[in-house]
Amino acid sequence: MEHSLQGNACAYQQLLVLLTVAVRNAVRGRARAAGVDPEDIVQEVLLALHLKRSTWVRGTPVAPWVAAIARNKIVDAFRRRGHRIEVPVDSVLETLWIDEVETEGQAHDLERALAKLNGRQRDVVRAVSLEGHTAQEVATRLQMTEGAVRVTLHRGLKALAATFRAVPNED
Amino acid sequence: MRCPMKTEELIRALAADGTQPVTPIGRTLWRALAAGALLSTALFFLILHPRFDIARAILTLRFDFKLMVAACLALASAIVLHHVARPASIARHRWLLYVAPVLLAGGVFVELATTPGASWSERLIGHNAVHCLSLIPLLSLPSLACLFFALRRAAPLRPPLAGATAGLASGGVGAILYALTCPDDSPLFVATWYTIAIGVVATASTFGGGRWLRW
C-alpha cells in the first residue's frame, strides 16, 4: 500500500488485484441474496478505494480502512436498489481475506456509467482499460499531451464514481 | 451493445491513474485551513480594521480570554475534522470539541461572580450584536469554502458531521478575526452572540456537508 501511494504503478496494480478478491468475497453472498450482480458493487467499491486512497494513513492497518469504505459503498449500493440492509463492519472485515479466487468479473453498471462520460474521457478510459495502453501511447494516438491524458483519465474516473452515485439503478 | 467492462480492465485504468504520489488527506486539510485563514484575514483587512485601542485591549484579561476561546474552538475542531474526514478513524478526539464551551462557561461564571448584577444586561447586550451576528459568518466563509473544497477529497462516513465540524473550525477562525475589531469583551456578550453566530455557520455547513460531501 505504501509503495502504491508513492506512485509505484506495478505495486498498485498488484494491490488492486488483491483488494478485488477481498471485496468480491465480502460482497458476493449478500449481493446474491439481494438479487444484485455482485460485480457491479465490487467495481464501485474499487473506484471508491482508488479515489479515496489519500485517506489511508501511512503505517496504520489497511484492512479496517478497506472494510470501512467497502461497507459504506455496499450499504449505499443496496439502498439505491431499494434494499435497506445493515452491514456490520466486522462482518465485512471477516470476509475480506477469505482465500477464494474466482473471477467472473463482468458487470453492467460501469458500462452504463461509461456511456455517460463525455467523448474524450470515454476514449481515454477505454484505451487505458480495454486495450491496456499506457498514458504515453494513448497520448500519441489521440494526439494529446501525456499530462492531458492523465488529467482526462483522472476526471473520467471521478465522473464514473459520480454517475454511480447519482443514477438510481434502472433495471 | 459492447461487452460489459471487466473488473480487470477497470483495475488497469485505476493503476494507470495511480502513477503519481498521493498527498495524504491530513496534509490537504491543514493546507486548506491555512489558505482559508489567510483569505479570511485578507477579507478582514479589506472591510474592517482592528479596534483602535487594541494595544491597550491586549493587556486586558477579557480581551485575551475572548481570543483564546475562539482559537481553542478553531484548533480543536480542525483536529477533530481530521478524524471525521477519514473512514476507519477512531472517535477518541471528540472531547476536544468541549474544551472551548467549558472554558467559556467558566468565563461566564467568573464574570457573573465578579461584576455587579446591575451591569449584566449592559454587558450582555453590548454595542453591536447585529454586527457580530453578520460579520462572524461573513469572515468565516472563505475558510469554510477552502475546507469544503479539501473535504471533497476526503471520505467522511458521516458527511453532515464532517460539514458541522468544518463549520465550527471556520466559525472559530471568523470569531478570532471579529474579536479583533469587536469592542465588547465581556464573556456574557461572547457566550451569547458569538455562540449564535458560530451556531448559524455550523448549522448551515451541516446541511452543506450532507449535500456536497457525499462520495
Tell me: do A88 and A19 sit in the same domain: yes
- Choose the weakest-confidence range: A42-56, A139-153, B23-37: A139-153
* pLDDT score at A167: 53
The burial of A70, by beta-carbon neighbours within 10 Å (0-12 exposed, 13-18 middle, 19 or more buried), is given as buried
Q: Is A143 on the interface with B (CB under 8 A)?
A: no
* pLDDT score at B39: 97
* pLDDT score at A73: 85
Written as one string, the DSSP assignment of A89-144 is HHHHHHHHT--------B-SHHHHHHHTS-HHHHHHHHHHHTS---HHHHHHHHT-
Residue type, A82: G
- Three-point CA angle B181, B182, B188, nearest 5°: 155
Contacts of B23 in chain A (CB under 8 A): 54
pLDDT: which is higher, A164 or B153: B153
Contacts of B15 in chain A (CB under 8 A): 9, 12-13, 16
Closest residue to B10, CB basis, from A5, A43, A150:
A43
pTM of the model: 0.83
The burial of A52, by beta-carbon neighbours within 10 Å (0-12 exposed, 13-18 middle, 19 or more buried), is given as buried
* pLDDT score at B79: 93
Tell me: do A38 and A63 sit in the same domain: yes
Grid cell of B26 as nine digits: 491530513
Q: Is A9 on the interface with B (CB under 8 A)?
A: yes
Q: A-B interface: how many C-beta pairs under 8 angstroms?
A: 135
CB atoms within 10 A of CB B59: 8
Q: Which domain holds residue A124?
A: 109-166
Tell me: do A130 and A85 sit in the same domain: no
* pLDDT score at A85: 62
Closest residue to B88, CB basis, from A4, A68, A161:
A68
Tell me: do A85 and A129 sit in the same domain: no
Contact A20, B7 (CB under 8 A): yes
Torsion, CA A29, CA A32, CA A36, CA A38, rounded to 10? 40
- Taking any CB pair shorter than 8 Å as contact, residues of chain B touching chain A are 2-26, 28, 85-89, 153-155, 157, 214-215
Tell me: do A38 and A120 sit in the same domain: no
Contact A41, A73 (CB under 8 A): yes
Interface test with A, best of B1, B2, B7 (most A CBs within 10 A): B7
| ipTM for the predicted complex | 0.81
Tell me: do A55 and A138 sit in the same domain: no
Considering the domain boundaries, does residue A32 fall inside one?
yes
Considering the domain boundaries, does residue A125 fall inside one?
yes
Tell me: do A89 and A139 sit in the same domain: no
Closest approach of B100 to chain A, Cα-based (Å): 28
| Domain closes at, from A54, A70, A96 | A96
Tell me: do A92 and A113 sit in the same domain: no
Residue A118: which CATH number? 1.10.10.10
pLDDT: which is higher, A122 or A103: A122
Contacts of A13 in chain B (CB under 8 A): 11-12, 15
Interface test with A, best of B81, B212, B215 (most A CBs within 10 A): B215
* pLDDT score at B207: 95
pLDDT: which is higher, A35 or B12: B12
Q: How far is CA A75 from the centre of its chain?
A: 15
How far CA B91 is from CA of A58, A92, B1, B34, B157, in Å, comes to 18, 20, 48, 24, 12
How far CA A106 is from CA of A95, B6, B8, B165, B215, in Å, comes to 21, 5, 9, 40, 23
Considering the domain boundaries, does residue A103 fall inside one?
no
User: Which A residues in the span 52-111 are in contact with B, Cβ-Cβ below 8 Å?
Assistant: 52-58, 60, 64-65, 67-69, 72, 103, 105-108, 110-111
Considering the domain boundaries, does residue A171 fall inside one?
no
| Domain closes at, from A96, A121, A151 | A96
Cα diameter, chain B? 82
pLDDT: which is higher, A28 or B115: B115
Gap between the Cα atoms of B114 and A116, Å rounded: 67
Gap between the Cα atoms of A39 and A124, Å rounded: 23
- Please list, in sequence order, all residues whose beta carbon lies within 8 angstroms of the beta carbon of residue B146, skipping any fewer than 6 positions away: B32, B33, B35, B36, B39
**Nearest CA among B163, B190, B3 for reference residue B77:** B163
Grid cell of A153 as nine digits: 483519465
**Nearest CA among B32, B63, B52 for reference residue B173:** B32
Phi, psi for residue A125 in degrees, rounded to 5: -60, -45
Tell me: do A72 and A119 sit in the same domain: no
* pLDDT score at A58: 81
Domain count, chain A: 2
Tell me: do A91 and A119 sit in the same domain: no
Helix axes A89-96, A62-80, angle to 10 degrees: 120
Tell me: do A91 and A113 sit in the same domain: no
Considering the domain boundaries, does residue A104 fall inside one?
no
Considering the domain boundaries, does residue A102 fall inside one?
no
Tell me: do A68 and A20 sit in the same domain: yes
Q: What's the mean pLDDT in A22-50? A: 81
- pLDDT per position in chain B (215 positions), as tens? 344 567 777 888 888 887 778 888 999 999 999 999 999 999 999 999 888 888 888 888 999 999 999 999 999 999 999 999 998 777 778 889 999 999 999 999 999 999 888 888 888 888 888 889 999 999 999 999 999 999 999 999 999 999 999 999 999 999 999 999 998 889 999 999 999 999 999 999 999 999 999 88
- Choose the weakest-confidence range: A17-26, A123-132, A151-160, B7-16: A123-132
